[in-house]
């Protein structure tokens, strides 16, 4: 009798867990302008990410996708840094805003996902919408089996529906789905709705000054060094 796999699908937080957003966004900023520190601008732009989604999660605003929120946050961040986007070619501003579509994977992501997909369904469970995640996958070489964007779930993590609706699309009960993330709060929300959980550290996600999510702070099903190690541990579990 074949050993029981722990789950059927292993889904991934994407920004920060599967891809290195800070480096990619900072590079795009540096190509757009020399008037600001690109790393500081990238961090400030990202800092508006969760607050911008809060009204949608609270039902105070209709769902809009991340391209809209990123553009609003870009304009606010530019104003904060004294950068006048009105002096730039609109197509250049649009290209900068779509930097989030062109992020590169961490070195272990693609080989780890390639190993995982031999046994499991792999895909993102991200606040990104389907087009963004598809463009990112093509750019970064992420070998997803399936992409279910937030435009399907119509909400943003950590709203429970972001996780549950994704499982429903896959026709899987929550306990047969694992979320892998570098963020303890994301894993806590997934665990609360019945998902299995795996933590991998990304201690340089926010740069050398990062103070949060340096290690696991919850009781997760798997603690892995990286995505390759996660694949190894899940494979060993199935053969035990």
CATH of the domain at 184: 3.40.50.1000
> Per the confidence metrics, is the pTM higher than 0.85?
yes
Residues 86, 137, single domain; the answer is no
CA 198 to chain centre: 14
Q: Confirm whether 4 is domain-assigned.
A: no
Q: How confident is the model at residue 237 (pLDDT cuts 50, 70, 90)?
A: confident
Peptide bond into 195 cis (omega under 30): no
Torsion 161-165-168-173 (CA) sign: negative
Q: Residue 240 has what pLDDT?
A: 64
Residues 6 or more apart whose CB falls under 8 angstroms from that of 51 comprise none
CATH of the domain at 59: 1.10.150.240
Identify the band that residue 238 occupies on the pLDDT scale cut at 50, 70 and 90: confident
Q: How far is CA 91 from CA 4, 87, 232, in A?
A: 52, 12, 44
Q: Given pLDDT bands bounded at 50, 70 and 90, which one contains residue 3?
A: low
Q: Do 155 and 40 belong together in one domain? A: no
- Taking only the tens place, the pLDDT of each residue in 82-129 is 999 998 999 999 999 999 999 999 999 999 999 999 999 999 999 999
Q: Which residue range(s) make up the domain with 15?
A: 9-21+103-239
Clarify whether residues 118 and 88 are in a common domain: no
Number of domains in the chain: 2
In a shared domain, residues 70 and 177 = no
Instruction: Please say which residue of 83, 101, 119 terminates a domain.
Output: 101
Average pLDDT, the chain: 96
Round to whole Å and give the CA distance between 193 and 22.
Answer: 30
């Amino acid at each position: 009798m074949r050993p029981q796999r722990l789950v059927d699908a292993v889904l991934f937080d994407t920004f920060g867990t599967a891809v290195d957003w800070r480096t990619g966004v900072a590079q795009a900023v540096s190509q757009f302008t020399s008037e600001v520190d690109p790393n500081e601008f990238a961090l400030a732009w990202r800092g508006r990410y969760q607050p911008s989604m809060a009204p949608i999660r609270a039902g105070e605003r209709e769902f809009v996708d991340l391209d809209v929120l990123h553009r609003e946050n870009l304009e606010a961040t530019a104003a904060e840094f004294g950068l006048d986007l009105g002096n730039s070619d609109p197509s250049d501003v649009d290209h900068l805003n779509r930097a989030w579509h062109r992020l590169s994977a961490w070195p272990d992501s693609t080989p780890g996902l390639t190993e995982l997909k031999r046994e499991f369904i792999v895909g993102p469970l991200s606040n990104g919408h389907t087009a963004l995640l598809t463009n990112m996958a093509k750019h970064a070489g992420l070998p997803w089996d399936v992409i279910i964007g937030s435009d399907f779930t119509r909400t943003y993590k950590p709203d429970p529906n972001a996780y549950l609706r994704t499982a429903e699309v896959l026709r899987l009960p929550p306990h047969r789905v694992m979320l892998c993330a570098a963020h303890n709060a994301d894993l806590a929300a997934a665990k609360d709705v019945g998902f299995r959980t795996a933590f991998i550290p990304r201690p340089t996600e926010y740069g050398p000054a990062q103070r949060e999510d340096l290690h696991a702070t919850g009781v997760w099903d798997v603690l892995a060094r990286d995505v390759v190690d996660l694949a190894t541990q899940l494979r060993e579990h199935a053969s035990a």
